[in-house]
């Protein structure tokens, strides 16, 4: 059954929740996400260093207003030796979905959003780096049509993207708008339930 997955761009105010999401990942998932079992302190450094003015970060909130997935789209200047693109920048995507939210299309949806954001930001090459044992991610990469190169247990994949067009711009704007509405509704519901809890003396 395909579910509605709303992907919202994350900002500075989401940093604390992002950190919680990453710290909740168990060692095997940290290995898959970061290529090494990153200790808590380094996870915290990573989150603190995310530059929201340069990169884009996407998230999915569940119905209990918990951040259950984070996708980091990092932009970097093109390496002079890069023969795959002539654009000024390339992008790399890293993603993680909490165990409780897996298998529902969240990872794929975050990837789709990253791809459309690349197009709309004049980037035509999207990279992903993962362990080649990561069957789920390899499946998502193949499904998206990524070109995959395997080397010593690691896999580098990249996807060539078409240029932006009015439909891609509209789609990203609409997706974000729906996600913001959903976020606002959940945030207000959370505030109302806390307020009612206090009013009726519940903890
Ligand atoms: C990889 C990850 C992001 C996937 O998230 P997800 O929300 O479960 O992914 P989706 O539900 O969108 O898609 C999973 C797809 O993989 C398939 N899949 C699941 N397990 C699989 C396996 N062992 N082998 C092959 N395919 C598999 C599912 O059938 C599904 O395919 P479909 O969309 O064609 O039906 C998530 O498992 C995760 O966070 N893993 C730890 C961190 C990580 O590996 N990050 C990627 C490195 S950057």
pLDDT digits (tens, 9 = 90+) for 148-162: 888 778 888 999 999
DSSP one-letter code for 78? P
The confidence band for 177, taking pLDDT boundaries of 50, 70 and 90, is: very high
pLDDT of 128 reads 93
Protein residue closest via CA to atom 41 of ligand 1: 29
Q: What whole-number distance in Å separates Cα of residue 58 and Cα of residue 62?
A: 14
Token duo for residue 201: 């003396």
pTM summary value: 0.93
Residue 79 binned pLDDT confidence (cut-offs 50, 70, 90): confident
Nearest CA to ligand 1 atom 14: 103
Q: Which of 94, 98, 102 is nearest to 67 (CA)?
A: 98
Q: What is the mean pLDDT of residues 27-32?
A: 96
Q: Do residues 107 and 69 lie in contact, with contact meaning Cβ atoms separated by under 8 Å?
A: yes
Residue 28 CA: which ligand 1 atom is closest? 41
**Over the range 47-72, which residues count as b (16 or more CB within 10 Å of their CB) and which as e?**
beebeeeeebbbbbbeeeebbbbbbb
Domain boundaries, the chain: 8-196
Architecture of domain 8-196: 3-Layer(aba) Sandwich (3.40)
* pLDDT at 1 > cutoff 60: no
Cα of 68 from ligand 1 centre, angstroms: 14
Please tell me whether residue 58 adopts helix, strand or coil conformation: strand
- Which ligand 1 atom lies nearest to the CA of residue 98? 39
Residues with CB under 6 A from ligand 1: 29, 32-33, 94-97, 102-108, 130, 134-137, 139-140, 143
List, edge to edge, every strand of the sheet that includes 8-9. Answer: 8-9, 56-61, 67-77, 89-97, 125-131, 154-160, 147-151
Which alpha helices (H) appear in 25-134, and where do they start and end? 27-34, 40-49, 106-120
Mean pLDDT value across residues 53-64:
96
Question: For ligand 1, what atom is nearest to the CA of residue 129?
Answer: 48
Residue 116 Cα to ligand 1 midpoint, Å, equals: 20
Distance of CA 88 from the midpoint of ligand 1 (Å): 31
- Dihedral sign for Cα atoms in the order 171, 109, 48, 194: positive
């Amino acid at each position: 059954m395909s579910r509605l997955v709303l992907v919202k761009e994350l900002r500075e105010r989401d940093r604390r929740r992002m950190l919680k999401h990453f710290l909740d990942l168990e060692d095997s998932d940290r290995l898959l996400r970061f290529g090494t079992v990153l200790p808590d302190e380094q996870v915290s450094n990573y989150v603190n260093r995310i530059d929201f003015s340069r990169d884009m970060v996407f998230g999915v909130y569940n119905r209990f207003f918990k951040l259950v997935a984070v996708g980091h789209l990092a932009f970097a200047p093109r390496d002079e030796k890069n023969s795959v693109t002539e654009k000024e920048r390339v992008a790399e995507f890293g993603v993680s979905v909490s165990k409780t939210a897996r298998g529902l299309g969240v990872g794929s949806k975050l990837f789709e959003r990253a791809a459309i954001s690349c197009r709309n930001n004049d980037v035509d090459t999207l990279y992903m780096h993962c362990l080649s044992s990561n069957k789920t991610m390899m499946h998502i990469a193949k499904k998206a049509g990524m070109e995959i190169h395997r080397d010593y247990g690691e896999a580098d994949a990249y996807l060539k993207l078409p240029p932006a067009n009015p439909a891609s711009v509209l789609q990203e704007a609409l997706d974000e708008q729906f996600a913001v509405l959903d976020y606002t509704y959940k945030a207000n519901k959370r505030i109302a339930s806390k307020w009612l809890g206090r009013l009726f003396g519940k903890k």
